[in-house]
């Protein structure tokens, strides 16, 4: 009994996870009891699950502290709901001493929960923003403000629906959470394994087939799970060893998996948590965001796939033997039912159904689909998946509170408006310089923050600068959303690369170097949201077609130049020429794109004629 008390509280964590998922399924089906309850329970679940899963220490005194800690945040959550109407009626007035104390218990509780679930960096960052609110009068311009006392901070963050229980928590609880649970059901039902087998059956025997299957499976699985690191853990455990078996160096195999999984977080329909927060910050419907984001995401995967292909051809890498790959027809026949939940999500997102209803029906469709396969989900498997869905979502659930603190610290003193003005002034109202400043800020944030806080900070500080310069809201927010996702592959955070490095048993930096090259499109495509509106399906049909075609050809030329192969091996001069042509294709648009298209056609004919000169390595 004492040993169980000192360790992870599995049974309590199971019950909290099960209750959390069941509650939000109920809300998705029959409606909410209270918006305040929805939001506060989500914050509470993050802290409670963090306490259960991550002990302060494996000693009886430490776990006794965790008991007190859990009871305290439980009471703080109860009191918020019990006093919610009073808080709402007295909004704008400071709360009393007791409520202030309870509020600080909750504020510090979410920071500690974030530390346990996400690491010390998250606690330090949210703590710094909290200190910024208190010591605002002592910070330098343009961050300086009059400062807030402990009572004012507790009032703003705990006793109002603009703090811990604001729009970010609402979006994560009401819209994203069930999609994360849906991803767990895909894993538990065997659907994720099926998608990997399907990609292997179709791509496995081709040159570099293991890597191409990794790109394909990530295209499907990560776009639904919404987590790059989770997708690496799911598919990478299969695809990375396969890539290494077929001749890829371990660091290259891990980098390819990290880059492909990162693409899943920008690929509709789910697009990771950041897109759901974008709904709250912009007011656009999710369907509108998904439609705008689809073509750029497809171009991203095309870039990764082309680099994988040219790398395999240049190095003479063969695919897997046919006997090691499942039959495509047989695989499709055995698991076709797993495609139904994907179709349900895609169709309902594009029909603009409410996201909570889509998540609920997606879970139901997975259960129903499993009954048509060799791995039907019974009552026990369903209960385990419901509880595991909440637990596996802990990194997202636990981040809601710290990110809300960060957003509140930026918005409460009006710092965001001043920094937006400063960015514009430094760039002298020049759009290109503004984009460059935002890229530098985004890259630095990506090195130290995970995806969600990076996007929240960029969306509140940087995106308004672009909007003030006349850039459409959709383009501005998609730009910072994409650059926020880059933290999956940029060290030192690089969660997707870190997970892939662990599977391949390689050091982080070599894996990150490969991943950043393979994921290069995540750095340059967002710039084109600003300059080429056709990429976001804005403008005439002719303009949209020309833009997409030139970007696809540009990605092809750049990928060939980077990897040193097209139809044959490329000399150094030919590689530079290919990259230059690709860059020009990417940067030009409209009728002017026809000039670099013609140049690339000549380059293609030249390389095609060289294909039989012996420069092409033999590949199966």
Let me know if residue 261 belongs to a domain: yes
pLDDT at 103 over 60: yes
The pLDDT assigned to 191 comes to: 85
pLDDT at 620 over 70: no
Cα–Cα dist 88/79, whole Å: 14
Q: With bands split at pLDDT 50, 70 and 90, how would you rate the model's confidence at 566? A: very high
Question: Do 78 and 216 fall within a single domain?
Answer: no
Question: Do 155 and 97 fall within a single domain?
Answer: yes
Cα–Cα dist 378/387, whole Å: 15
SS3 54: coil
SS3 108: helix
The pLDDT assigned to 2 comes to: 56
| Between 425 and 166, residue with greater pLDDT | 166
Over residues 184-193, the pLDDT tens digits come to 898 888 888 8
What would the mean pLDDT of 249-264 be, rounded to a whole number?
91
Residue 140 contacts by C-beta under 8 Å, 6 or more apart in sequence? none
| Between 512 and 410, residue with greater pLDDT | 512
Question: Do 282 and 236 fall within a single domain?
Answer: yes
pLDDT at 296 over 60: yes
Count other Cβ atoms within 10 Å, centred on residue 244: 18
Instruction: Say which range, 51-55, 332-336, 412-416, 445-449, has the weakest mean pLDDT.
Output: 445-449
Token pair of 437, please? Answer: 């400043």
| Between 261 and 230, residue with greater pLDDT | 261
Q: What share of the chain is helix, strand, coil (3-state, %, to 5)?
A: 75, 0, 20
Let me know if residue 446 belongs to a domain: no
Burial (0-12, 13-18, 19+ Cβ within 10 Å), 478: buried
What would the mean pLDDT of 304-316 be, rounded to a whole number?
93
Residue 138 contacts by C-beta under 8 Å, 6 or more apart in sequence? 147
Q: With bands split at pLDDT 50, 70 and 90, how would you rate the model's confidence at 447? A: low
Answer positive or negative: Cα dihedral of 336, 362, 266, 597.
positive
Q: Which of 167, 182, 207 is the last residue of a domain?
A: 167
- Taking the chain, what is the end-to-end CA distance rounded to the nearest angstrom? 59
Q: Which of 167, 189, 221 is the last residue of a domain?
A: 167
pLDDT at 149 over 70: yes
pLDDT at 90 over 60: yes
Question: Do 57 and 111 fall within a single domain?
Answer: yes
Residue 28 contacts by C-beta under 8 Å, 6 or more apart in sequence? 178, 356, 357, 359, 360
In 3D, which of 188, 236, 230 has the Cα closest to residue 213?
A: 236
| Under 8 Å between Cβ of 213 and 260 | no
Burial (0-12, 13-18, 19+ Cβ within 10 Å), 261: buried
pLDDT at 618 over 80: no
The pLDDT assigned to 329 comes to: 86
pLDDT at 313 over 60: yes
Interior angle at CA 240, CA 238 and CA 246, nearest 5 = 105
What would the mean pLDDT of 264-271 be, rounded to a whole number?
80
- The full DSSP string for 263-302 is HHTTSTTT-HHHHHHHHHHH---HHHHHHHHHHHHHHHHH
Cα–Cα dist 55/63, whole Å: 7
Burial (0-12, 13-18, 19+ Cβ within 10 Å), 610: middle
Cα–Cα dist 78/383, whole Å: 26
| Under 8 Å between Cβ of 382 and 368 | no
Question: Do 262 and 363 fall within a single domain?
Answer: yes
Question: Do 188 and 255 fall within a single domain?
Answer: yes
Let me know if residue 589 belongs to a domain: yes
| Between 214 and 85, residue with greater pLDDT | 85
Count other Cβ atoms within 10 Å, centred on residue 318: 17
In 3D, which of 228, 158, 121 has the Cα closest to residue 498?
A: 228
Q: CA torsion, points 480, 482, 488, 494, in degrees to nearest 10?
A: -40
Over residues 526-558, the pLDDT tens digits come to 999 999 989 999 888 888 998 999 999 999 999
pLDDT at 256 over 90: yes
SS3 459: helix
- The full DSSP string for 216-262 is HHHHHHHHHH--HHHHIIIIIHHHHHHHHHTT--HHHHHHHHHHHHH
- The full DSSP string for 540-582 is -HHHHHHHHHHHHHHHHHHHHHHHTBSSSBPPHHHHHHHHHHH
Cα–Cα dist 558/565, whole Å: 11
What would the mean pLDDT of 113-123 be, rounded to a whole number?
89
Over residues 461-502, the pLDDT tens digits come to 889 989 988 999 999 999 998 988 887 888 877 888 988 999
| Between 4 and 20, residue with greater pLDDT | 20
| Under 8 Å between Cβ of 35 and 405 | no
Rounded to two decimals, the pTM is: 0.84
Count other Cβ atoms within 10 Å, centred on residue 390: 27
What would the mean pLDDT of 588-600 be, rounded to a whole number?
83
Answer positive or negative: Cα dihedral of 224, 230, 234, 236.
positive
Let me know if residue 511 belongs to a domain: no
Question: Do 147 and 174 fall within a single domain?
Answer: no
Q: CA torsion, points 51, 52, 54, 59, in degrees to nearest 10?
A: 90
Domain of residue 570, residue span: 539-620
Let me know if residue 458 belongs to a domain: no
Q: Which of 376, 397, 418 is the last residue of a domain?
A: 397
Q: With bands split at pLDDT 50, 70 and 90, how would you rate the model's confidence at 1? A: low
- The total of structural domains in the chain comes to 3
Question: Do 84 and 111 fall within a single domain?
Answer: yes
What would the mean pLDDT of 208-224 be, rounded to a whole number?
81
Question: Do 267 and 340 fall within a single domain?
Answer: yes
SS3 437: helix
Question: Do 242 and 319 fall within a single domain?
Answer: yes
The pLDDT assigned to 405 comes to: 92
> Is the previous residue joined to 433 through a cis bond, with omega within 30 degrees of 0?
no
SS3 569: strand
Return the bridge partners of 565, or none: 569
* Number of DSSP helices (H) and strands (E) in the chain, helices first: 34, 0
Let me know if residue 478 belongs to a domain: no
Return the bridge partners of 569, or none: 565
Share the mean pLDDT of the chain: 87
Question: Do 133 and 228 fall within a single domain?
Answer: no
Question: Do 147 and 210 fall within a single domain?
Answer: no
Cα–Cα dist 591/606, whole Å: 24
Cα–Cα dist 465/236, whole Å: 38
Token pair of 5, please? Answer: 């008390």
Place of tokens 């990110």: 403
Let me know if residue 494 belongs to a domain: no
What would the mean pLDDT of 224-244 be, rounded to a whole number?
81
What would the mean pLDDT of 98-122 be, rounded to a whole number?
93
Task: Look up residue 64 and give its DSSP letter.
Answer: H
SS3 70: helix
Let me know if residue 420 belongs to a domain: no
| Between 358 and 225, residue with greater pLDDT | 358
* Percentage of the residues of the chain whose pLDDT score is greater than 70: 95
């Amino acid at each position: 009994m004492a040993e169980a008390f000192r360790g992870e509280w599995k049974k309590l964590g199971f019950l909290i996870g099960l209750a959390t998922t069941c509650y939000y399924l109920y809300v998705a089906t029959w409606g909410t009891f209270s918006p305040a309850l929805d939001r506060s329970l989500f914050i509470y679940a993050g802290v409670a699950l963090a306490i259960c899963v991550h002990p302060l220490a494996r000693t009886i005194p430490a776990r006794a502290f965790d008991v007190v800690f859990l009871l305290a945040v439980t009471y703080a959550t109860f009191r918020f709901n019990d006093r919610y109407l009073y808080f709402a009626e007295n909004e704008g007035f400071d709360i009393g001493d007791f409520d202030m104390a309870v509020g600080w218990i909750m504020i510090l509780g979410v920071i500690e929960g974030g530390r346990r679930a996400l690491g010390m960096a998250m606690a330090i960052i949210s703590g710094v923003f909290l200190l910024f609110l208190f010591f605002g009068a002592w910070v330098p311009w343009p961050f300086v403000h009059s400062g807030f006392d402990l009572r004012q901070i507790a009032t703003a963050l705990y006793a109002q629906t603009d703090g811990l229980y604001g729009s970010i928590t609402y979006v994560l609880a009401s819209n994203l959470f069930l999609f994360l649970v849906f991803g767990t059901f895909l894993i538990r039902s065997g659907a994720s394994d099926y998608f990997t087998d399907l990609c292997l059956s179709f791509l496995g025997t081709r040159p570099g087939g293991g890597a191409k299957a990794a790109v394909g499976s990530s295209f499907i699985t990560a776009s639904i799970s919404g987590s790059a690191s989770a997708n690496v853990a799911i598919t990478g455990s299969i695809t990375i060893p396969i890539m290494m078996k077929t001749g890829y160096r371990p660091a290259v195999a891990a980098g390819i998996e990290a880059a492909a999984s990162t693409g899943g977080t920008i690929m509709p329909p789910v697009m990771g948590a950041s897109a759901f927060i974008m709904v709250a910050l912009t007011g656009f419907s999710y369907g509108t965001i998904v439609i705008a984001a689809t073509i750029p995401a497809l171009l991203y995967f095309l870039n990764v796939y082309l680099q994988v292909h040219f790398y395999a051809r240049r190095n003479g890498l063969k695919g897997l033997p046919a006997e090691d790959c499942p039959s495509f027809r047989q695989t499709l026949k055995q698991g076709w039912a797993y495609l139904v939940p994907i179709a349900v999500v895609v169709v309902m997102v594009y029909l603009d159904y409410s996201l909570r209803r889509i998540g609920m029906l997606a879970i139901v469709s997975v259960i129903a689909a499993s009954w048509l396969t060799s791995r039907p989900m019974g009552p026990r498997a369903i209960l385990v998946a419901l509880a595991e869905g909440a637990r596996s979502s802990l990194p997202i659930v636990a981040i809601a509170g710290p990110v809300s603190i960060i957003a509140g610290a930026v918005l409460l003193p009006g710092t965001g408006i001043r920094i937006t003005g400063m960015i514009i002034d430094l760039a002298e109202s020049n759009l290109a310089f503004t984009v460059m400043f935002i890229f530098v800020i985004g890259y630095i944030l990506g090195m130290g923050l995970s995806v969600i806080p990076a996007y929240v900070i960029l969306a509140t500080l940087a995106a308004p600068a672009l909007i003030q310069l006349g850039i459409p809201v959709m383009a501005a927010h998609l730009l910072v959303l994409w650059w926020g996702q880059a933290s999956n592959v940029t060290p030192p955070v690089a969660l997707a690369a870190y997970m892939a490095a662990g599977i391949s048993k390689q050091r982080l930096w070599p894996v990150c170097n490969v991943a950043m090259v393979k994921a290069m499109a995540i750095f340059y495509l967002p710039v084109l949201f600003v300059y080429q509106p056709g990429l976001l399906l804005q403008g005439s049909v002719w303009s949209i077609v020309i833009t997409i075609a030139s970007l696809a050809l540009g990605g092809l030329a750049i990928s060939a130049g980077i990897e040193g192969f097209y139809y044959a091996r490329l000399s150094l001069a030919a590689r530079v020429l290919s990259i230059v042509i690709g860059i020009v294709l990417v940067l030009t648009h409209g009728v002017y794109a026809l000039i670099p298209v013609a140049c690339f056609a000549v380059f293609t004919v030249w390389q095609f004629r060289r294909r039989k000169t012996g420069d092409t390595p033999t590949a199966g």
